[in-house]
Amino acid sequence: MTSPSDGLLPVNDTHRRIIHVDMDAFYASVEMRDNPTLKNKALVIGQDARKNHGHGVVATANYVARKYGVHSAMPSIKAIRLVPADKLVFLRPDFTKYRAVSAEIHEMMHEITDSVQSIALDEAYLDVTENKLGSTSAVELAIGLQTRIREEEGLNCSFGATYNKFLAKMGSEYAKPFGRTVILPEEARAFLARQKIKKFHGIGPKTQERLHQMGIYTGRGLQRIHVRELIKHFNRMGYLMAEHANGIDLSRVVPDDEHNRKSIGIERTYEPCIYNEQTALTNLRNYAASLEEKLQERNFFANTVVLKIRNNDFVTVTKRRKLPHATHNATEIYQAARELFGPLANSFLNDGIRLLGVTATDFSEADFEDVGLDLFSD
Ligand code: TTP
Ligand code: MG
């Protein structure tokens, strides 16, 4: 049975094989590996508030420290209160080291597939539907990777293996530490039904509170309420919650190399040429709409729009325009493209437009690592 949705939810796609891998207590584990005497200490990575006028935030903590209630993003001063002084060790993070470890793990991942999307230094999605090892088992591939990381890096990770990104991430969280969760399509809804809503990625404390007020505490509650009701209360987020609670997440694994691309563009040649201004503008509008989609998929914001135009005699002109602010909004991209097109329109339409292209470039991107570094800037 699926949720009451009146066909509002998309048809599920369960054919992909997706793995989410996340290192266990990453920064802390690297430090313990390099100094095993830290293993029976409560190790906190972050600034020691005692040496810094009470300031500092916990980046992460090993599992010993977590037993005392220490966790990421907690003020260091609180960790000091929670852990007996003779047990507690603070270390400043060594990003150079963590980056190097991360790069090595990524090399192992790329031996399986190039469809690797990194979310943070210690976390990535792999789409292994097709893979370099010719395996049809995501679990087998993930266990192989987990074993290699343990043997070659001396570090533990957890993974979720299933048919979409949302479930895979939920699975790796569920598996921690050093575990695995395999979720088959026919088991997904039952698995989700059992999960507390705070385990649903993207549902923050405020939304949890509102859901509790509506009597919803678990995935089962989200599955039972009508999608329309969730949309009424939470708009687009409500729709996403309904999708997720029903095991639907059609978003794709966007490979890192695609992610690192310096620009995303669309161009098309026209035969016969375009002689009509409205036709040209309609095409630009369509380009902008599909650029918005591509940028959103990658969480990119473009600062510059480039227009490329070619006439029947193969005269080609490219013009660029800096945007007032970084955006992935189709209307703003279209606006810029149209302004670039304006002064060229008459002459190119006269000769006939053979090619038209719009490129979004000069990206800004919210970077997880920057957030981490910010914690230590005080
Ligand atoms: P996480 O994977 O969230 O945490 P973790 O690997 O330490 O622990 P877990 O076993 O639960 O996965 O984040 C990875 C690294 O990112 C973490 O080791 C430290 C850093 N980090 C921060 O700097 N600030 C934060 O708020 C969080 C959550 C993580
Ligand atoms: Mg982790």
- Beta-carbon neighbour count of residue 233 at 10 Å? 16
- CA–CA separation, 378 vs 375, rounded Å? 7
341: domain CATH number is 3.30.1490.100
73 and 138 together in one domain: no
Name which residue sits closest to atom 15 of ligand 1, judged by CA.
26
- CA–CA separation, 336 vs 362, rounded Å? 14
214: domain CATH number is 1.10.150.20
Distance 199 CA to ligand 2 centre (A): 15
Residue 16 inside a domain? The answer is no
Residue 324 inside a domain? The answer is yes
293 and 357 together in one domain: yes
Name which residue sits closest to atom 7 of ligand 1, judged by CA.
25
103 and 164 together in one domain: yes
In the chain, % of residues over pLDDT 70 = 95
Residues within 5 A (CB) of ion ligand 2: 22-23, 26, 122
Residue 11 inside a domain? The answer is no
Give the closest ligand to the alpha carbon of residue 121: 1
Name which residue sits closest to atom 21 of ligand 1, judged by CA.
59
Annotated active-site residue 258? The verdict is no
- Among 170, 186, 202, give the residue marking a domain's end: 186
Residue 133 inside a domain? The answer is yes
- CA–CA separation, 208 vs 210, rounded Å? 5
Q: Give residue 364's pLDDT band: very low, low, confident or very high (50, 70, 90).
A: confident
> Per the structure, how many domains does the chain have?
4
Ligand 1 mutation target, pool 102, 122, 157, 159, most atoms within 8 A of CB? 122
Tell me what pLDDT residue 3 has.
55
Residue 22 inside a domain? The answer is no
Q: What are phi and psi of 34, to 5 degrees?
A: -80, -15
> Are 366 and 299 a contacting pair, CB within 8 Å?
yes
90 and 101 together in one domain: no
Instruction: Give the domain extent around 193.
Output: 189-245
- Among 60, 95, 130, give the residue marking a domain's end: 95
Residue 169 inside a domain? The answer is yes
Entry pTM:
0.77
290 and 327 together in one domain: yes
Active-site annotation holder among 123, 243, 292, 332: 123
Name which residue sits closest to atom 10 of ligand 1, judged by CA.
24
54 and 128 together in one domain: no
- Partner residues linked to 199 by β-bridges: none
> Are 158 and 179 a contacting pair, CB within 8 Å?
yes
176 and 270 together in one domain: no
Residue among 265, 64, 17, 30 nearest 157 (CA): 30
Give the closest ligand to the alpha carbon of residue 22: 2
Tell me what pLDDT residue 367 has.
40
84 and 105 together in one domain: no
- CA–CA separation, 50 vs 48, rounded Å? 5
> Are 157 and 167 a contacting pair, CB within 8 Å?
no
Distance 72 CA to ligand 1 centre (A): 6
181 and 204 together in one domain: no
DSSP summary character for residue 10? P
- Beta-carbon neighbour count of residue 67 at 10 Å? 12
Distances (CA, A) of 76 to 62, 66, 123, 304, 376: 14, 13, 24, 41, 11
Distances (CA, A) of 320 to 315, 343, 361: 17, 13, 10
- Among 137, 168, 186, give the residue marking a domain's end: 186
Residue 274 inside a domain? The answer is yes
Span 282-324, pLDDT tens digits: 999 999 999 999 998 888 899 999 999 999 988 889 999 999 9
ω into 4 cis (within 30 of 0):
no
Distance 122 CA to ligand 1 centre (A): 8
316 and 360 together in one domain: yes
Name which residue sits closest to atom 20 of ligand 1, judged by CA.
59
Report residue 269 as tokens.
Answer: 């040649």
Tell me what pLDDT residue 371 has.
36
157: domain CATH number is 3.30.70.270
Span 1-58, pLDDT tens digits: 455 677 889 999 999 999 999 999 999 999 999 999 999 999 999 999 999 999 999 9
Residue among 104, 84, 93 nearest 26 (CA): 93
Average pLDDT over residues 169-195: 98
75: domain CATH number is 3.40.1170.60
Tell me what pLDDT residue 262 has.
82
> Torsion angle, CA of 38/42/43/44, rounded to 10 degrees?
-170
158 and 202 together in one domain: no
Distance 224 CA to ligand 2 centre (A): 32
272 and 316 together in one domain: yes
Distance 121 CA to ligand 1 centre (A): 9
Predicted confidence (pLDDT) at residue 352 exceeds the cutoff of 90:
yes
Residue among 181, 270, 271, 190 nearest 223 (CA): 190
Distance 179 CA to ligand 2 centre (A): 12
Name which residue sits closest to atom 28 of ligand 1, judged by CA.
72
Residues enclosing ligand 1, CB less than 6 A?
22-27, 59-60, 72-73, 120, 122-123, 176-177, 372, 375
Tell me what pLDDT residue 62 has.
98
